[in-house]
Structure 1
Amino acid sequence: MKIFVSNDISEKGVALLREHFDVDVMPNMKPEELIKVINNYDGLVTRSMTKVTKEVIEASTRLKVIGRAGVGVDNIDIPAATAKGIVVLNTPEGNTMAATEHTVAMMMAMTRHIPQAHQSIQEGKWDRKSFDGIQVQGKTLGIIGVGRIGSRVAKRMQAMEMTTIGYDPYITEERAHQVGVELVDFDTLLAKSDYITIHTPLTKETEKMLNAEAIAKMKDGVRIVNCARGGCMDPEAIAEGVKSGKIAGAAIDVYPTEPLTKENNPFLGLFNVVQTPHLGASTIEAQIGVAVDVAYGVIDALEGRPVMTAVNMAPIPKSVAAVIQPYFKLAERMGTVGIYLADGPIKSVEVEYTGALAETETQALTTAFLKGLLNPILQESVNFVNAPGIAKKRNLEVKEVKANKPGYFTTAINVKIATAKGTHKIEGTLFDGKQPKIVQIDQYHVDFNPEGYLLLAPHVNKPNMIGQMATILGSAGININGMQVGSTPKSDTNIMAIAVGDDIPNDIMLQLRGVEGIIDVKLINCEG
């Protein structure tokens, strides 16, 4: 597989990618240039400078993942990528501390006129009267977006004895309480805040959130900080607010159009405005962090594993990931086993979670199951992004169930697959919290790792059944990696579960089915 890196990222991230793939680094291509080469690559790694347009995405038949070394993904056409089943991921943790520290630095620089005072003294002046500031102690800081960065900014400014309030419709009162932030509605935040800092992604809801209408609702003498996304503000409205005195100061790191020039900078010549050229993530540590994080995300996506930071599938919080991550392989392999068991078109599936899984979010595990179920039978690639959509398109009813009372195993996944001819059941769990095991297929109790090829052979309980099967396989040069025999609910019958090293040709399968006393033989490729 080949990866295209379209912007400069830390060499540590590039080196990590090169351990797995061929990598080409060609920074700062224009969209029309990218269109010409993108079909040669399976993955694209970018930063904010590259515009990954719908035309770029549609020009590729190979692209499977787009990795953004940073947080903002407004330079990527996510709907177009999702429609093609392309994973889009970002790196929200890699530059969190850098952005937090830059926000605090900008706030204090604005408050104490540090850049202006520095420039004055560089010009040979000693002017103390022009640079009187205020103290942040006792002031109210309004935080729009109390997520990773917003909550960290709150913690640091609380240490400077600021009162912190926040507007964020996506966090709970409990979480806000944990980080010391009082949740309020948007208008209340505007009216009560002495300082306002924004930490949200750019969406339809947040575009130009800080506009003339919002500014009119703010306190006189408010101070505004934006180190998040330039599109979340109306720069002209903020500049007018500074000129009128409504806004006492502004600290701006990001802009709707970058790079900023003299022609499109409304803050030129405004004494109370501090500006930097999108430096929020510009620390050595952050650049290494986002490069390494994006590399790991791309590797996971191309090697078929779920990507915890994918932005076009349901996000997986760290607390949830800690519980469900060990079960991803199990869920996907159960789906693959299920499609081999199905004896006709599948009408519906029910995925039941017990124990610890019943107490957390499991949508991603259900998606993993669907991926395993659909991949072996479709020509198109099925992944964690498009699996739910493909299931819906095929009119496959999917139901999740949470069971309060666990069965024999404390935590397990139980699946029912309904076809026109009947229903199949599969149960899976983890041994020692890490080893995937299939423990039941239909009415049969089994115990096997869902890897490689598996022969399931219900048979009459009589001598030499195992010997005959082993002889046929051995004569064909097929190695047996493991074997288990268990009883079935039907009187005088057992089932063999035989793990084999290779696929089994049809003529050998016919010989196995021809053994007297063998009720059925089914070969399952657990890996799809």
Structure 2
Amino acid sequence: MKILVSDDVSEKGVEVLRAQGYDVDVKINLNEEDLIACIGEYDGLVTRSMTHVTEAVINAGKKLKVIGRAGVGVDSIDIKTATAKGIIVVNAPTANTVAATEHTCAMIMAITRHIPQAHNSLMAGEWDRERFTGIQLQNKTIGIIGVGRIGSRIAKRMQAMEMRTIGYDPYIPEERGKQLGVELVDLDTLLRESDYITMHTPLTKETRGMIGAAEIAKMKDGVRVINVSRGAVLDINALAAALKSGHVAGAAIDVFPTEPLTKDINPFLDMDNVVITPHLGASTKEAQIGVSVDVAEGVIAALNGEPVPTAVNMAPLPANVYRTIQPYFDLMERMGIIGVYLSEGPMKEICVEYTGALAQTETGLLTTAVLKGALNPILQESVNFVNAPEVARSRHISVKEVHSQDQGYLSDAVTVTIRTNKGEHSLVGTLFNRTEAKIVQIDEYRLDFTPEGYLLLAPHIDQPNMIGQISTILGQAHINITGMQLAKMTQAGTNIMAIAVQDDIPNDIMLKLRGIEGIIDMKLIHCETH
């Protein structure tokens, strides 16, 4: 597979991709036309903020399976179009957390003690101490908009400076605020009471333009404003007007609605009460290596068909939930594959029932793995963790999840039932020691086999030499049997055989097997995931 790196990312991430055998091209400073011209040959794209992955670019990416953003913000990527086409978009949300936190603290200190202005004055040969008299952070109130990974760290550092920390974040429970030492308030209260206001939110419909002229008017006189999050959260023209009037005493801005910030759109030119930097929040050596490696690992997982916890167009998962369910992904996909091979006729419903510890956690992504397994063998289009639910809906397949307290004979198990117009089939799977995948039941038949490679399922009449005849035909065709299980069927005098074989079985050999007297049915299932 081929991957295009279209921005200047750390070579460490490129090395991770190449070490996995990918053909990686680094082509930076491509405009949209150039990107459209070349993207069609690539399976993956790795970007930073300078590359705009538009609808036209995505439509031109006929082979594109994943877009990786080496950083947090993905507003330069058309997520809607990517999702509609089943393209996974991944980012690196944690690797630059410390860098962004420290840059914010540096910006706060810069506007508090006029450090850049004093430096420039001295470099110009002046000595003007009185002009650069600052204030102290001690006993001031800092309002943090967005008390997440970065906002919470800002709070901790400003508390060390003996500041009162208040925060606005509708997604943070009050108990979490207490743990952080942050008093959670509504936005109007934060605007009224804060001496410093710092923003740490993603760019969404709700946060775009959330701090404009009306909000700035509610701030106390002499407030200082800091933005090291996303440029479009703040109306910089309204802020510039408030800086000129003196209502806002100072500002420190690292991100802008349009980047790069050129002279013709920079409202802060010739203003000495503002500090601006060219989007340096994540620009440390450690952070650049971190985001590059993290996004490379996400791209690799996506290209391998694995779930990606940092995918932004999939439901996000807390780390503890992901650790709980991660060992089950491969089993779930293989159960979907086996289920669809068992079924006859178009699928009407897929029901996934969880028992034991799995019933106590979030399992939506596991159910998506079942859909991925069930749909890939019957469709020409590629089905992945992003588009599987929509593909099921478009084919009018009902998907149900059941969380059961009835543990049956296994403490942690999953039952997948696929219903068609002609009936239904169920299979039960589990993990032994959370590592070894096993199918332990098909319909009412108790079995014990590992869902790997090729599997023959053969219901047959219980009579002598059935195993011998099947083994002889396979042996003469040089097809190795790697495992065999036998179980009685409910119908008197019948059994079912599950035979694991090393290789695919040609059609002429399958005809011979089906021709054995006493064979009721013979299905060959390829259990490998896509």
Find the aligned partners of 2:253 and 2:523 in 1 and give their Cα distance.
65
| Greater Cα offset, 368-377 or 213-222 | 213-222
Aligned partner of residue 455 in structure 1, secondary structure: strand
Tell me the CA shift for residue 143 of structure 1. 1.4
Matched residue of 2:263: which SS? coil
- The answer to whether residue 252 in structure 2 is matched with residue 248 in structure 1 is no
Q: How far apart are residue 345 of structure 1 and its match?
A: 1.0
**Equivalent residue, structure 1, for 2:49:** 48
Q: SS state of the match for residue 459, structure 1?
A: strand
Once residues 255 and 18 of structure 1 are traced to their aligned partners in structure 2, the CA distance between those partners, rounded to angstroms, is 34
Counterpart residue number, 2:357: 356
Superposed CA deviations along residues 72-113 of structure 1, whole A, max 9, x for unmatched, are 111111111111111111110121111111111111111111
Shift of 1:495: 2.3
**Residue 172 (str. 1) matches residue 166 (str. 2):** no
Q: Is 1:264 aligned with 2:287?
A: no
C-alpha distance in 2 between matches for 1:216 and 1:487: 78
Cross-structure match for 1:484: 485
CA 1:455 to 1:187, structure 2 compared with 1: closer, same or farther past 3 Å?
A: same
Structure-2 separation of matches of 1:57 and 1:403:
42
- Distance between the aligned counterparts of 1:309 and 1:393, measured in 2? 26
Listed one character per residue, the Cα deviations across residues 232-285 of structure 1 (whole Å, up to 9, x for unaligned) are 110011111112222121110011111112221111222221111110010001
- Residue in 2 that maps onto 1:432: 433
Distance apart, 1:128 and its partner CA: 2.0
> What residue is the counterpart of 1:205 in the other structure?
206
Return the alpha-carbon distance in structure 2 between the equivalents of residues 295 and 229 of structure 1. Answer: 23
Aligned match of 2:3: 3
**Which digits, 9 at most, give the CA deviation of each residue in 1:460-480, with x for residues without a partner?**
334332222111111111111
Q: Measure how far apart 1:331 and its partner are.
A: 1.1
SS of 1:66's equivalent? strand
Structure 1 segment 367-386 matched on structure 2, within 5 A: 367-386=368-387
Q: 1:183, 1:410 → 2: CA distance?
A: 41
Superposed CA deviations along residues 274-319 of structure 1, whole A, max 9, x for unmatched, are 1111100100011101111111111111111111111111112212
Q: 2: distance between equivalents of 1:467 and 1:171?
A: 65
What does the per-residue CA deviation read over 1:484-505, in whole Å, with 9 as the maximum and x for residues that have no partner? 2233344443322111111112
Q: Pairwise mapping of residues 101-500 of structure 1 onto structure 2 (< 5 A)?
A: 101-500=102-501
The TM-score normalised by the length of structure 1 is 0.97
Kept after mapping to 2: 8 A contact 1:358/1:404: yes
C-alpha distance in structure 2 between counterparts of 1:222 and 1:50, whole Å: 35
- Identify the residue that residue 15 of structure 2 maps to in structure 1: 15
**Does the residue aligned with 2:104 lie in a helix, a strand or coil?**
helix
Change (3 A) 1:362 1:460: same
1:187 is paired with a residue whose SS is helix
Paired residues in the alignment total 528
User: What is the distance in 2 between the residues matched to 1:139 and 1:338?
Assistant: 63
Percent identical residues = 68
Gapped regions of structure 1 (runs ≥ 5): none
TM-score (norm 2): 0.97
Letter in 2 for 1:3: I
Gapped regions of structure 2 (runs ≥ 5): none
SS for the counterpart of 2:328 is helix
Higher mean C-alpha deviation, range 387-396 or range 443-452: 443-452
97-106 or 174-183: which moved more?
174-183
Which residue does the alignment assign to 1:37? 38
1:283 is matched by which residue type in structure 2? T
Pairwise mapping of residues 89-100 of structure 1 onto structure 2 (< 5 A)? Answer: 89-100=90-101
* DSSP 3-state at the match of 2:264: coil
Partner of 1:520: 521
Provide the C-alpha distance between the structure 2 equivalents of 1:335 and 1:280, rounded to a whole number of angstroms.
44
* Range 292-301 or range 504-513, more displaced: 504-513
- Kindly indicate whether the alpha-carbon contact (under 8 Å) linking 1:351 and 1:399 is maintained by their aligned counterparts in 2: yes
Output the amino acid matched with 1:4: L
Residue 447 of structure 1 deviates from its aligned partner by 1.5
2:174 and 2:450 map into 1 onto residues whose CA distance is 43
